[in-house]
Copies of this chain bind each other. A is one copy, B any other.
Protein backbone atom coordinates (compact mmCIF):
# COMPACT_ATOMS: atom_id res chain seq x y z
CA UNK A 1 0.00 0.00 0.00
CA UNK A 2 1.15 3.51 -0.70
CA UNK A 3 1.43 5.92 2.20
CA UNK A 4 0.49 9.40 1.02
CA UNK A 5 1.18 11.02 4.39
CA UNK A 6 -1.17 12.64 6.92
CA UNK A 7 -2.85 9.30 7.52
CA UNK A 8 -3.91 8.56 3.94
CA UNK A 9 -3.09 5.22 2.36
CA UNK A 10 -3.88 3.90 -1.10
CA UNK A 11 -4.27 0.17 -1.69
CA UNK A 12 -2.66 -1.02 -4.92
CA UNK A 13 -4.51 -4.31 -4.57
CA UNK A 14 -7.68 -3.21 -2.78
CA UNK A 15 -9.40 -5.41 -0.24
CA UNK A 16 -12.89 -6.42 -1.27
CA UNK A 17 -15.94 -6.67 0.91
CA UNK A 18 -17.02 -10.30 1.11
CA UNK A 19 -20.16 -9.78 3.18
CA UNK A 20 -21.78 -7.55 5.76
CA UNK A 21 -24.65 -7.64 8.23
CA UNK A 22 -26.55 -5.38 10.59
CA UNK A 23 -28.47 -6.12 13.79
CA UNK A 24 -30.64 -3.52 15.49
CA UNK A 25 -33.17 -2.89 18.23
CA UNK A 26 -36.92 -2.23 17.78
CA UNK A 27 -36.72 1.59 17.64
CA UNK A 28 -34.07 1.42 14.90
CA UNK A 29 -36.25 -0.93 12.87
CA UNK A 30 -39.18 1.43 13.25
CA UNK A 31 -37.51 4.32 11.38
CA UNK A 32 -36.84 5.21 7.75
CA UNK A 33 -34.66 2.10 7.19
CA UNK A 34 -37.30 -0.32 8.50
CA UNK A 35 -36.97 -3.81 7.05
CA UNK A 36 -33.49 -3.24 5.65
CA UNK A 37 -31.63 -4.76 8.59
CA UNK A 38 -30.53 -8.38 8.69
CA UNK A 39 -31.70 -8.82 12.27
CA UNK A 40 -34.10 -6.74 14.34
CA UNK A 41 -34.78 -7.57 17.98
CA UNK A 42 -38.33 -7.40 19.23
CA UNK A 43 -37.25 -5.75 22.45
CA UNK A 44 -34.00 -4.09 23.35
CA UNK A 45 -33.11 -6.55 26.10
CA UNK A 46 -32.77 -9.36 23.54
CA UNK A 47 -33.86 -11.58 26.40
CA UNK A 48 -30.73 -10.82 28.42
CA UNK A 49 -30.60 -9.77 32.06
CA UNK A 50 -28.36 -6.73 31.45
CA UNK A 51 -28.04 -4.09 28.73
CA UNK A 52 -24.36 -4.94 28.34
CA UNK A 53 -25.16 -8.58 27.61
CA UNK A 54 -27.88 -7.48 25.18
CA UNK A 55 -25.30 -5.37 23.32
CA UNK A 56 -22.89 -8.31 23.06
CA UNK A 57 -25.70 -10.46 21.70
CA UNK A 58 -26.44 -7.85 19.01
CA UNK A 59 -22.78 -8.12 17.94
CA UNK A 60 -22.96 -11.90 17.90
CA UNK A 61 -25.97 -11.72 15.59
CA UNK A 62 -24.22 -9.31 13.21
CA UNK A 63 -21.11 -11.52 13.11
CA UNK A 64 -23.11 -14.74 12.69
CA UNK A 65 -25.15 -13.37 9.79
CA UNK A 66 -22.14 -11.80 8.06
CA UNK A 67 -20.36 -15.16 8.22
CA UNK A 68 -23.44 -16.90 6.79
CA UNK A 69 -23.86 -14.37 3.98
CA UNK A 70 -20.17 -14.63 3.09
CA UNK A 71 -20.27 -18.40 3.11
CA UNK A 72 -17.35 -18.55 5.52
CA UNK A 73 -16.88 -19.94 9.01
CA UNK A 74 -15.22 -18.49 12.09
CA UNK A 75 -12.05 -20.41 11.35
CA UNK A 76 -11.74 -18.61 8.00
CA UNK A 77 -11.36 -15.23 9.72
CA UNK A 78 -7.67 -14.42 10.21
CA UNK A 79 -8.33 -11.55 12.64
CA UNK A 80 -11.36 -9.65 13.86
CA UNK A 81 -10.94 -5.96 14.62
CA UNK A 82 -13.64 -4.80 17.00
CA UNK A 83 -14.54 -2.26 19.63
CA UNK A 84 -17.47 -0.39 21.09
CA UNK A 85 -18.47 2.38 23.49
CA UNK A 86 -18.55 0.37 26.70
CA UNK A 87 -15.75 0.73 29.22
CA UNK A 88 -13.07 -1.87 28.40
CA UNK A 89 -14.95 -2.51 25.13
CA UNK A 90 -16.91 -5.32 26.75
CA UNK A 91 -19.55 -5.31 24.02
CA UNK A 92 -16.82 -6.75 21.80
CA UNK A 93 -14.74 -8.85 24.17
CA UNK A 94 -17.74 -10.72 25.56
CA UNK A 95 -19.14 -11.40 22.09
CA UNK A 96 -15.82 -12.52 20.62
CA UNK A 97 -14.98 -14.58 23.73
CA UNK A 98 -17.33 -17.26 22.45
CA UNK A 99 -15.40 -17.61 19.18
CA UNK A 100 -11.85 -18.75 18.47
CA UNK A 101 -11.09 -15.82 16.19
CA UNK A 102 -7.86 -13.86 16.87
CA UNK A 103 -9.00 -10.49 18.25
CA UNK A 104 -7.49 -7.01 18.06
CA UNK A 105 -9.44 -4.59 20.25
CA UNK A 106 -10.05 -1.08 18.95
CA UNK A 107 -11.19 2.11 20.62
CA UNK A 108 -12.37 4.91 18.38
CA UNK A 109 -15.74 5.69 20.00
CA UNK A 110 -18.33 6.10 17.22
CA UNK A 111 -15.59 6.02 14.56
CA UNK A 112 -14.92 2.35 15.35
CA UNK A 113 -16.47 0.82 12.22
CA UNK A 114 -14.24 2.91 9.94
CA UNK A 115 -11.17 2.35 12.13
CA UNK A 116 -11.74 -1.42 12.34
CA UNK A 117 -12.48 -1.72 8.66
CA UNK A 118 -9.31 0.18 7.74
CA UNK A 119 -7.31 -2.24 9.92
CA UNK A 120 -9.07 -5.25 8.39
CA UNK A 121 -8.37 -3.86 4.90
CA UNK A 122 -4.69 -3.29 5.68
CA UNK A 123 -4.42 -6.80 7.10
CA UNK A 124 -6.16 -8.45 4.15
CA UNK A 125 -4.34 -6.35 1.57
CA UNK A 126 -0.95 -7.05 3.10
CA UNK A 127 -1.14 -10.72 3.90
CA UNK A 128 -0.89 -13.65 1.60
CA UNK A 129 -0.59 -17.35 2.05
CA UNK A 130 0.38 -19.32 -1.04
CA UNK A 131 -1.82 -22.35 -1.49
CA UNK A 132 -4.36 -21.33 1.12
CA UNK A 133 -7.06 -18.87 0.25
CA UNK A 134 -8.73 -18.89 3.64
CA UNK A 135 -6.50 -16.71 5.67
CA UNK A 136 -6.60 -13.40 3.88
CA UNK A 137 -10.05 -12.76 5.31
CA UNK A 138 -10.51 -10.28 8.16
CA UNK A 139 -13.54 -8.82 9.90
CA UNK A 140 -14.61 -5.52 11.45
CA UNK A 141 -17.30 -5.49 14.13
CA UNK A 142 -18.85 -2.87 16.39
CA UNK A 143 -21.97 -2.03 18.36
CA UNK A 144 -23.70 0.40 20.68
CA UNK A 145 -26.80 0.20 22.86
CA UNK A 146 -28.88 3.15 24.01
CA UNK A 147 -29.38 1.79 27.49
CA UNK A 148 -25.81 0.70 28.21
CA UNK A 149 -24.38 3.94 26.77
CA UNK A 150 -26.73 6.43 28.43
CA UNK A 151 -26.12 5.21 31.94
CA UNK A 152 -22.37 4.98 31.40
CA UNK A 153 -21.86 8.36 29.74
CA UNK A 154 -24.68 10.53 31.05
CA UNK A 155 -27.32 9.72 33.66
CA UNK A 156 -29.04 6.57 34.99
CA UNK A 157 -31.97 5.70 32.75
CA UNK A 158 -34.37 5.73 35.74
CA UNK A 159 -33.35 9.33 36.44
CA UNK A 160 -35.45 10.37 33.44
CA UNK A 161 -33.29 13.40 32.65
CA UNK A 162 -34.61 15.88 30.08
CA UNK A 163 -32.69 15.64 26.82
CA UNK A 164 -31.29 18.84 25.33
CA UNK A 165 -32.02 19.84 21.70
CA UNK A 166 -28.38 19.07 20.75
CA UNK A 167 -28.50 15.59 22.31
CA UNK A 168 -28.34 12.54 20.04
CA UNK A 169 -29.90 9.13 20.56
CA UNK A 170 -27.37 6.31 20.87
CA UNK A 171 -28.36 3.61 18.39
CA UNK A 172 -29.06 0.10 19.65
CA UNK A 173 -27.29 -1.50 16.72
CA UNK A 174 -24.35 -3.55 15.53
CA UNK A 175 -22.62 -4.02 12.21
CA UNK A 176 -20.11 -6.50 10.86
CA UNK A 177 -18.14 -6.26 7.61
CA UNK A 178 -15.93 -9.09 6.34
CA UNK A 179 -13.18 -8.29 3.83
CA UNK A 180 -10.82 -10.38 1.79
CA UNK A 181 -7.80 -9.85 -0.34
CA UNK A 182 -9.08 -9.24 -3.86
CA UNK A 183 -6.64 -11.88 -5.11
CA UNK A 184 -8.07 -14.49 -2.80
CA UNK A 185 -9.58 -17.57 -4.32
CA UNK A 186 -12.72 -16.62 -2.44
CA UNK A 187 -13.43 -14.18 -5.26
CA UNK A 188 -14.88 -17.03 -7.24
CA UNK A 189 -17.11 -18.57 -4.65
CA UNK A 190 -18.28 -15.23 -3.35
CA UNK A 191 -19.84 -14.31 -6.66
CA UNK A 192 -22.73 -16.51 -5.69
CA UNK A 193 -22.91 -15.02 -2.22
CA UNK A 194 -26.25 -13.64 -1.16
CA UNK A 195 -24.74 -10.37 0.00
CA UNK A 196 -23.16 -9.53 -3.32
CA UNK A 197 -25.31 -7.76 -5.87
CA UNK A 198 -24.16 -6.94 -9.36
CA UNK A 199 -21.11 -5.09 -8.16
CA UNK A 200 -18.28 -5.91 -5.82
CA UNK A 201 -17.31 -3.28 -3.23
CA UNK A 202 -13.62 -2.47 -3.05
CA UNK A 203 -11.79 -0.38 -0.48
CA UNK A 204 -9.43 1.68 -2.59
CA UNK A 205 -8.03 4.13 -0.09
CA UNK A 206 -8.40 5.24 3.51
CA UNK A 207 -7.46 8.03 5.87
CA UNK A 208 -6.63 7.45 9.53
CA UNK A 209 -7.66 10.67 11.26
CA UNK A 210 -5.96 12.79 13.85
CA UNK A 211 -7.54 14.20 16.99
CA UNK A 212 -9.27 17.54 16.65
CA UNK A 213 -10.53 19.22 19.81
CA UNK A 214 -12.69 22.29 19.33
CA UNK A 215 -13.12 22.91 23.06
CA UNK A 216 -16.63 21.44 23.42
CA UNK A 217 -17.33 20.53 27.07
CA UNK A 218 -21.02 19.58 26.75
CA UNK A 219 -21.58 15.80 26.98
CA UNK A 220 -24.91 16.40 25.23
CA UNK A 221 -23.42 17.95 22.11
CA UNK A 222 -21.40 15.21 20.43
CA UNK A 223 -22.06 16.53 16.92
CA UNK A 224 -20.20 19.75 17.62
CA UNK A 225 -17.33 17.80 19.23
CA UNK A 226 -16.92 15.66 16.09
CA UNK A 227 -17.56 18.08 13.21
CA UNK A 228 -14.04 19.52 13.21
CA UNK A 229 -12.54 16.04 13.00
CA UNK A 230 -14.83 15.09 10.11
CA UNK A 231 -13.77 18.24 8.25
CA UNK A 232 -10.09 17.53 8.92
CA UNK A 233 -10.23 13.89 7.78
CA UNK A 234 -12.35 14.50 4.67
CA UNK A 235 -10.18 17.48 3.64
CA UNK A 236 -7.00 15.45 4.18
CA UNK A 237 -8.38 12.57 2.15
CA UNK A 238 -9.42 14.80 -0.76
CA UNK A 239 -6.03 16.54 -0.76
CA UNK A 240 -3.96 13.35 -0.52
CA UNK A 241 -5.91 11.52 -3.21
CA UNK A 242 -6.19 14.53 -5.51
CA UNK A 243 -9.97 14.27 -5.58
CA UNK A 244 -12.75 16.82 -5.09
CA UNK A 245 -15.90 16.45 -2.99
CA UNK A 246 -17.92 16.38 -6.22
CA UNK A 247 -16.03 13.31 -7.43
CA UNK A 248 -17.94 11.14 -4.95
CA UNK A 249 -21.50 10.00 -5.46
CA UNK A 250 -21.88 10.30 -1.73
CA UNK A 251 -19.80 11.56 1.18
CA UNK A 252 -21.09 9.78 4.28
CA UNK A 253 -20.41 10.88 7.84
CA UNK A 254 -21.07 8.71 10.86
CA UNK A 255 -23.18 10.47 13.42
CA UNK A 256 -22.76 14.23 13.27
CA UNK A 257 -26.51 14.67 13.49
CA UNK A 258 -28.23 17.96 12.74
CA UNK A 259 -25.89 20.16 14.77
CA UNK A 260 -22.64 18.57 13.62
CA UNK A 261 -23.69 18.35 9.97
CA UNK A 262 -24.50 22.08 9.99
CA UNK A 263 -21.06 22.87 11.40
CA UNK A 264 -19.44 20.61 8.77
CA UNK A 265 -21.23 22.47 5.96
CA UNK A 266 -20.05 25.81 7.37
CA UNK A 267 -16.45 24.60 7.59
CA UNK A 268 -16.45 23.40 3.97
CA UNK A 269 -18.27 26.52 2.79
CA UNK A 270 -15.29 28.56 4.00
CA UNK A 271 -13.22 26.56 1.48
CA UNK A 272 -15.78 27.32 -1.22
CA UNK A 273 -17.15 23.77 -1.14
CA UNK A 274 -20.90 23.12 -0.89
CA UNK A 275 -20.88 19.72 0.78
CA UNK A 276 -24.62 19.47 1.35
CA UNK A 277 -25.42 18.38 -2.20
CA UNK A 278 -23.79 14.95 -1.92
CA UNK A 279 -23.50 14.50 1.85
CA UNK A 280 -25.42 11.98 3.97
CA UNK A 281 -25.07 11.58 7.71
CA UNK A 282 -25.95 8.16 9.14
CA UNK A 283 -27.16 9.90 12.29
CA UNK A 284 -29.71 11.82 10.23
CA UNK A 285 -31.21 8.85 8.37
CA UNK A 286 -31.39 6.05 10.95
CA UNK A 287 -34.30 7.70 12.77
CA UNK A 288 -37.08 10.07 11.82
CA UNK A 289 -35.79 12.91 13.98
CA UNK A 290 -39.18 14.48 14.70
CA UNK A 291 -41.51 11.50 14.83
CA UNK A 292 -39.10 9.35 16.82
CA UNK A 293 -38.11 12.25 19.13
CA UNK A 294 -34.36 11.77 18.90
CA UNK A 295 -33.56 15.49 18.95
CA UNK A 296 -30.37 16.08 16.88
CA UNK A 297 -30.23 12.53 15.45
CA UNK A 298 -28.68 9.13 16.11
CA UNK A 299 -25.19 8.36 17.41
CA UNK A 300 -23.11 5.47 18.72
CA UNK A 301 -20.71 3.02 17.06
CA UNK A 302 -23.72 1.00 15.88
CA UNK A 303 -25.23 3.98 14.04
CA UNK A 304 -22.74 4.27 11.19
CA UNK A 305 -22.07 0.51 11.28
CA UNK A 306 -25.72 -0.50 10.83
CA UNK A 307 -26.53 2.24 8.31
CA UNK A 308 -23.44 1.24 6.32
CA UNK A 309 -24.57 -2.40 6.23
CA UNK A 310 -28.30 -1.75 5.71
CA UNK A 311 -28.24 1.22 3.36
CA UNK A 312 -24.86 2.33 1.99
CA UNK A 313 -23.25 -0.98 0.99
CA UNK A 314 -26.42 -2.38 -0.66
CA UNK A 315 -26.62 0.78 -2.78
CA UNK A 316 -23.01 0.25 -3.88
CA UNK A 317 -23.46 -3.46 -4.65
CA UNK A 318 -26.53 -2.57 -6.71
CA UNK A 319 -24.48 -0.08 -8.69
CA UNK A 320 -26.62 2.89 -7.66
CA UNK A 321 -23.61 4.40 -5.94
CA UNK A 322 -20.22 3.90 -7.56
CA UNK A 323 -17.84 5.93 -5.43
CA UNK A 324 -18.45 6.67 -1.76
CA UNK A 325 -16.32 8.28 0.94
CA UNK A 326 -17.42 6.72 4.24
CA UNK A 327 -16.24 8.77 7.22
CA UNK A 328 -17.17 7.52 10.67
CA UNK A 329 -16.84 10.11 13.40
CA UNK A 330 -16.05 9.64 17.08
CA UNK A 331 -16.25 11.82 20.18
CA UNK A 332 -13.62 10.45 22.56
CA UNK A 333 -15.77 11.60 25.46
CA UNK A 334 -14.95 10.51 28.99
CA UNK A 335 -17.28 11.41 31.87
CA UNK A 336 -14.23 11.52 34.16
CA UNK A 337 -12.38 14.04 31.97
CA UNK A 338 -15.50 16.16 31.39
CA UNK A 339 -16.02 16.26 35.17
CA UNK A 340 -12.43 17.46 35.45
CA UNK A 341 -13.30 20.38 33.17
CA UNK A 342 -11.64 18.96 30.06
CA UNK A 343 -13.00 19.36 26.54
CA UNK A 344 -13.99 16.45 24.29
CA UNK A 345 -11.53 15.32 21.59
CA UNK A 346 -13.01 14.28 18.24
CA UNK A 347 -11.68 11.90 15.61
CA UNK A 348 -12.82 10.64 12.21
CA UNK A 349 -11.54 7.89 9.93
CA UNK A 350 -12.44 7.58 6.24
CA UNK A 351 -12.65 4.82 3.64
CA UNK A 352 -13.20 5.12 -0.07
CA UNK A 353 -15.66 2.46 -1.22
CA UNK A 354 -16.16 1.82 -4.90
CA UNK A 355 -18.34 -0.42 -7.07
CA UNK A 356 -16.24 -2.68 -9.22
Q: A interface vs B, CB < 8 Å? A: 1-7, 9, 49-50, 52-53, 78-79, 83, 86-90, 93-94, 96-97, 99-109, 115, 118-119, 122-123, 125-129, 132, 134-136, 152, 207-211, 213, 332-337, 340, 342, 345, 347, 349
Given contacts A90-B337, A93-B332, A333-B88, contact A5 B78 (CB under 8 A): yes
Find out whether the CB atom of B115 lies under 8 angstroms from the CB atom of A126. Answer: no
| Residues in B neighbouring A337, C-beta threshold 8 A | 52, 88, 90, 94
The complex is assembled from copies of this chain, and their number is 2
A3-B135, A88-B333, A100-B210 known, 7 other contacts, Cβ within 8 Å? A1-B127, A3-B136, A90-B332, A102-B208, A103-B347, A105-B106, A125-B126
Residue of B nearest to A53 (CB): B340
Of B49, B90, B336, the residue contacting A90 (CB under 8 A) is: B336
Given contacts A337-B94, A340-B53, contact A7 B88 (CB under 8 A): no
CA distance A340 to B54 in the complex (A): 13
CA distance A311 to B118 in the complex (A): 33
CA distance A147 to B57 in the complex (A): 33
Find out whether the CB atom of A89 lies under 8 angstroms from the CB atom of B103. Answer: no
| Residues in B neighbouring A128, C-beta threshold 8 A | 1-3
Of B125, B208, B332, B334, the residue contacting A79 (CB under 8 A) is: B208
Find out whether the CB atom of A211 lies under 8 angstroms from the CB atom of B107. Answer: no
| Residues in B neighbouring A3, C-beta threshold 8 A | 78, 127-129, 135-136
| Residues in B neighbouring A2, C-beta threshold 8 A | 127-129
Find out whether the CB atom of A345 lies under 8 angstroms from the CB atom of B102. Answer: no
Interchain residue pairs with CB less than 8 A apart (12): A5-B78, A87-B335, A87-B336, A90-B337, A93-B345, A94-B345, A97-B345, A103-B209, A104-B208, A105-B108, A125-B126, A152-B336
For A3, A118, A336, the residue with the greatest tally of chain B CB atoms inside 10 Å of its CB is: A3
| Residues in B neighbouring A105, C-beta threshold 8 A | 83, 106-108, 115, 332, 347
